[in-house]
Structure 1
């Protein structure tokens, strides 16, 4: 069933069901979504009376946990690959899957840092570079792809400090532990201790998309309602305010 039909059918069912007792929904989501989803979940709880538990980590970690049976009802990945991996195992409801938002990849430094030619500075310098795990976590995979396309990966890879997720890489830069980091544009906006030096060209890495879906066999009415809410006007406005880009159907 196409998602638009799923969405309409689900919305009708929710309206026909009328008032229901409050339920719990557990959401596993990529760490880069934390600031926006914390706000969105609070609004959803206030409007519905349902309770939302948010668990943030790298998409690879969360997908593997769901694959092992972790009790999540909704999964939001930072790339399609890990959602595909779960789909191949029959662990998500394919009719509920839809790309939620998009993002950009940026180079960041501590806020006091200024650079007129950040790529040249990065290539010529000796400072370490914080990135999420380059072979497993989407932010790291995108970053490795961008540096490879620029012909810089082999040169810079010995200086890369790998972290569990994009927010952990951001924290290393924000605290001054490392002078550079490659993270999402939304991460850079979320911490005033860092400055964005440059944005990587969109053709230097695969499109940064965040697919969302219900976890097969785990969903309940609150989970279905929350997924619908994520694509609604109110939640989408929160995503945009935090720097995410809308996805065209």
Structure 2
């Protein structure tokens, strides 16, 4: 009887905690959204008084957490593949999925590294030297997938594939360059803009990789507050914030 009562109170406690937590909006967002989305959240909370919490990580890690039952309200992925995966897992309201932002891929370096005069094998190897090229893991992280695709398209993959410093997110990749642990890295343009410790040494042609699209969606069972914040992300003020952080808003692009 004692065990039954303990189990009963435990279930009540978990249910109450879950309901309380759901009053706050929980967003799962790709780590490359950190700077822009944090600004949007700050403005939204100031305007509405509603609380929004964001968990930043690689798109793949977040998608898997959702599939395992994590109670997030909104998911923002750095590519469409992991959004499709989340839809297939039955955790996303499919009719809310929308392509939101686009991004660009760039080479970055520390402030003391010269701008790359050319994107060829000789130049890359010369700059990398005995060190490594920092990229996100191309096995599952979108920025790494795009980076590998670009290097292959440009005929550079064979020269650098054994000289890579892999990380589990694009912000972790940038940190390797910021700390001087890698002389060069490949990140999104928006990430490069967010750091005063790196500079863009070369832009990778859009034709070298698949379109870099950041879709967003509501999860199944998302709260009313989540729907309100989801709409706010398309507001004029939010659009200005993401644009100032180096993203291209896809709706604006269509209207131009």
Does the residue aligned with 1:182 lie in a helix, a strand or coil? Answer: strand
Contact preservation (8 Å) 1:29, 1:56: yes
- The answer as to 2:213 corresponding to 1:209 is yes
Contact 1:100 1:246 in 2 (8 A): yes
Match of 1:158 among 158, 162, 180: 162
Show the counterpart of 1:200: 204
Residue 241 of structure 2 corresponds to residue 221 of structure 1? no
Q: Hey, what does 2:72 align to over in structure 1?
A: 72
Give the deviation of 1:203 after TM superposition. Answer: 1.1
CA distance in 2, matches of 1:65, 1:118: 41
Query: Taking structure 2 as the reference length, what is the TM-score of the superposition?
Result: 0.86
Tell me the distance in 2 between the aligned counterparts of 1:89 and 1:167: 27
Report the equivalent of 2:3: none
Q: Secondary structure at 2:34's aligned position in 1?
A: helix
Per-residue deviation, residues 181-240 of structure 1 (Å, max 9, x unmatched)? 0000011111111010111111111100100000112x0011101110111111011000
Q: 1:145 is matched with which residue?
A: 149
Runs of 4+ in 1 over 3 A off after TM superposition: none
Asked if residue 246 in structure 1 is aligned to residue 245 in structure 2, the reply is: no
List per-residue Cα deviations over 1:39-87 (Å, max 9, x = no partner).
1001111111110111000000000000000010000000000000011
Task: Tell me how far apart the structure 2 counterparts of residues 159 and 29 of structure 1 sit (CA, whole Å).
Answer: 29
Over aligned residue pairs, what C-alpha RMSD do you find? 1.3
2:120 aligned with 1:117: no
1:25 Cα offset (Å): 0.2
What residue ranges of structure 2 are gaps of 5+ in the alignment? Answer: 1-21
- Structure 1 portions without partners, runs of 5+: 1-21
The alpha carbon displacement at 1:144 in A equals 0.3
